[in-house]
Amino acid sequence: MTNIPPLLSSDFKTVPVGVSLKSAHYQDIVLDQPSVAFFEAHAENYMVAGGAHRRYLDHIAANYPLSLHGVGMSLGSAERLDRDHLERFKVLVDTYKPVLVSEHLAWSVNNGRYLNDLLPLPYTKESLLIVVDNVKQMQDAIGQGILLENPSSYMSFKSSIMQEVDFLCEVADQAKCGLLLDVNNVYVSACNLGFDAKTYLDAMPAGLVGEIHLAGHAERNIDGASVLIDDHGSVICDDVWDLYAYVINRIGVKPTLVEWDNDIPSLSILMGEANKALSVMEQALADHQTKSFAYA
Amino acid sequence: MPDLKDIQNEMAESIIGGRAASDFLTSEIIGDGAGPSGGLQIHINNYQSTLSNHFSVILPVTAAFVGDVFLRTSLKHYLRDEPPSKPQLSEYGGNFSEYLKNYKACETVPFISDLVRLEWSINKVLNAPEQMYPTPETWPTFNFSDLRLSTAIEIIASDYPLLSLWMAGNGQLPAESVNPNSGGQIIAVVRTQDNGVELYSLTQEERSLLKRIDNKTVSESEIPTDFWQTAFTRSLLSIRN
């Protein structure tokens, strides 16, 4: 097995930009061995007994650092976490030893039914207790700390008593987890719900952010209103690149992932987006040579 | 203030049922630009489109037979009546073929249920456990009792000429050359050693032999010589762990 370099280097010489691991790119990755700091795999796609997906993941994880990104743990569910799913997740963590593990501030399970979406929850004291408890349970089960990702929102709740970013920080503090800052999600939510994205980013403590996500979104007209949909199906828009530069300059270099889950392009296009993120980070490093950037 | 459980119950019913927000949800949700119903509608669309797309990928031949509109409509009902119980998409849809057996619109295309089962089986064997296959060269190093039916095989007995229908659906046979009422077939859906999938028609005798080998209810001397070649080249048997 190849020696895998650490994802983060304390001398800032390794700028950690990764891309989503998609089955459409397996062959290209194996043949071309693209220069990328890490791949991020959706954990649920690899919860299978065998076959090509697992064989490719075995190969890629032996040659690159791997980040495992869960989409089905349902950390915001009022019901208990699914023990079988926790066990499946633990098996993946034990097998592939990911450098990062992340999940979402969302719910998707209700009465044993899985809704295959990242659904919003009100930011109340009750929700806080539930999410903190579930994050702790997940971390205990897999034996590794996780990063909790901010969601894309299309609606909010009248019963919420705190802002999302404050809720996330409170969960991180009480559950001793880190945060995954999805800049596109902040932008989508800010446009849909009418808040200022930079104010949100300003409130995000640098020390809590362990990873950043970037992705594209779509604009749809729903009942006469323009709504941004977090579909991960296109290039990252200029506004999101600006917000990314803004936050990198504020909180320092962080492992950054370019996500693309629908209308998957060629690997070269995905790598092109990753190289843009690399440029933003390198520019930030050049601008702040004497500044001490925070690492999670 | 409503309980989180109450909110999630109401949202789940609306999303799975494809229904507009209830009065309770409307009073609880701030939909901002799109309004409470618009915000919820996005999640209804997400639920239906992502799961429907999942089926479109694994049921291309079925779609070719019944058309996209028919498939999407039947899936809409299936998603409402049989929502996923696990987050692994690869496991969702195993009972869609059974669901279609009682689906009224399928009465005129009764073989569709078996065709869905065949395509689902392709998806299933692709994710089956890894195993060791015997070859003519390695076979002498094993005992007969080490053999089992491959763990990456699905055997389907259909009242219809399923393999011929499947080949007609993906263009390998002219559609007009296949009569759905020309008799049944037994099909083996097999993941090969290089991760491909092959479909074979089995005789009743071959099916019975495979079952008896797996159950250890047959002796080595009872196996016809030519069966070994069939079993090895088609990856029908594997070595028991």
Report residue A241's pLDDT band, with 50, 70 and 90 as the boundaries: very high
Contact B85, A111 (CB under 8 A): no
Average pLDDT, chain A: 92
Task: Output the CA torsion sign for B204, B210, B211, B213.
Answer: positive
Nearest to B9 among A53, A110, A192 (CB): A110
The answer to whether the CB of A101 falls within 8 A of the CB of A66 is: no
pLDDT at position A86: 98
> How many other C-beta atoms are found inside a 10 Å radius of the C-beta of residue A221?
9
pLDDT at A5 over 70: no
Q: Note the pLDDT tens digit of each residue in B213-239.
A: 999 999 999 999 999 888 989 999 999
From B223, B162, B152, B225, select the one nearest B189 (Cα to Cα). Answer: B152
Question: Which of A155, A162, A226 would best serve as a mutation to test chain B binding (most B beta carbons within 10 A)?
Answer: A155
**What secondary structure does DSSP assign to A115-129, as a single string?**
EEEEE----SHHHHH
pLDDT tens digit sequence for B40-79? 999 999 999 999 999 999 999 999 999 999 999 999 999 9
Residue A286 has pLDDT above 70, yes or no: yes
Q: Please tell me if residue B28 touches chain A, with a CB cutoff of 8 Å.
A: yes
Q: Do B12 and A113 touch (CB under 8 A)?
A: yes
Q: Are strands A100-104 and A147-149 parallel, antiparallel or unpaired?
A: parallel
Domain boundaries, chain B: 111-239
Give the three-state DSSP class for A214.
strand
**The two three-digit tokens of residue B59, written as one number:** 């049921």
Answer whether A159 touches B (CB < 8 Å): yes
The alpha carbon dihedral of B206, B211, B212, B213 has a sign of positive
User: What pLDDT, on a 0 to 100 scale, did the predictor assign at position A9?
Assistant: 52
- For residue B32, pLDDT over 80 is answered with no
- Residue for token pair 């078996």: B114
pLDDT at B7: 96
Q: Which residue has the tokens 């633990």?
A: A90
What is the average per-residue pLDDT within B159-164?
Answer: 96
**Hey, is the C-beta of A72 within 8 angstroms of any chain B C-beta?**
yes
pLDDT digits (tens, 9 = 90+) for A82-103: 999 999 999 999 999 999 999 9
Contact B5 A55 (CB under 8 A): no
CA distance A131 to chain B (A): 11
**Strand A38-42 relative to strand A17-20, pairing:** parallel
Question: What's the mean per-residue pLDDT of chain B?
Answer: 93
Is the CB of A156 less than 8 angstroms away from the CB of B29? yes
Q: Is there a contact between B32 and A194 if contact means CB atoms under 8 Å apart?
A: yes
Q: What is the 3-state secondary structure (H, E, C) of B172-229?
A: CCCHHHCCCCCCCEEEEEEECCCCCEEEEEECHHHHHHHHHHHHCCCCHHHCCHHHHH
Backbone angles phi, psi at A112, to 5 degrees: 80, 0
Q: Is the pLDDT of residue A4 over 70?
A: no
| Residue to test with chain B: of A30, A116, A156, A220, most B Cβ within 10 A | A116
Which domains are seen in chain A, by residue range?
17-287 (3.20.20.150)
pLDDT in tens, A213-238: 999 999 998 888 899 999 999 999 99
Average pLDDT over residues B110-124: 97
Closest CA to B48 of B28, B10, B23, B78: B78
Residue among B16, B46, B54 nearest A154 (CA): B46
Q: How far apart are CA A245 and CA A281, in angstroms?
A: 8
Taking an 8 Å cut-off on Cβ atoms, the answer to whether B83 and A115 are in contact is yes
Whether B15 has a pLDDT exceeding 90, the answer reads: yes
- Cβ–Cβ contact B43 with A under 8 A: yes
Considering chain A, what percentage of its residues have pLDDT values greater than 90?
86
pLDDT tens per residue, range A110-131: 999 999 999 999 999 999 999 9
- b (16+ CB within 10 A) / e for B58-72: bbebbbbbbeeebbb
Query: Do B16 and B81 meet the contact criterion of CB atoms below 8 Å apart?
Result: no
Structural domain B111-239, CATH architecture: Alpha-Beta Complex (3.90)
pLDDT at A104 over 50: yes
B146–chain A nearest CA distance, Å: 21
Q: Which one of A30, A77, A115, A161 would you mutate to disrupt binding with B, by most B Cβ within 10 Å of its Cβ? A: A115
Residue A290 CA, distance from chain mean position = 29
Name chain B contacts of A195, Cβ cutoff 8 Å: none
How far apart, in whole angstroms, are the C-alpha atoms of residue A100 and residue A7?
9
Q: Which residues of B touch A113 (CB under 8 A)?
A: 12, 16, 83-85
Best B6, B7, B189 residue to mutate vs chain A (most A CBs within 10 Å): B7
Question: Which chain B residues in 150-209 lie under 8 Å from chain A, judged by CB atoms?
Answer: 152, 191, 195
Cross-chain CB nearest to A50 (options B83, B86, B127): B127
B206-215 long-range contacts, CB within 8 A, separation 24+: B206/B230, B207/B155, B207/B157, B210/B149, B210/B155, B210/B236, B210/B237, B211/B149, B213/B147, B213/B148, B213/B149, B213/B237, B214/B148, B214/B149
Residue A288: the pLDDT is: 72
- Examine the pLDDT at B33 and tell me if it is beyond 70: no
Exposure string over B110-120, b if 16+ CB within 10 A, otherwise e: ebbbbbbbbbb
Task: Judge whether B152 and B191 are in contact, CB under 8 Å.
Answer: yes
Q: pLDDT category, B35, cuts 50, 70, 90?
A: confident
DSSP state of B92: T
- pLDDT tens column, A60-83: 999 999 999 999 999 999 998 999
Residue B225 phi/psi, 5-degree rounding, is: -55, -45
Distance from CA of A281 to the nearest CA of B (A): 33
Please, is A171 exposed, middle or buried when counting C-beta atoms within 10 Å of its C-beta (0-12, 13-18, 19+)?
buried
Question: Comparing C-alpha atoms, which of B108, B114, B105, B38 is closest to residue B73?
Answer: B105
High-pLDDT (> 90) share of chain B, %: 80
Q: How many CB atoms lie within 10 A of CB A207?
A: 14
Please name the amino acid found at residue B165. L
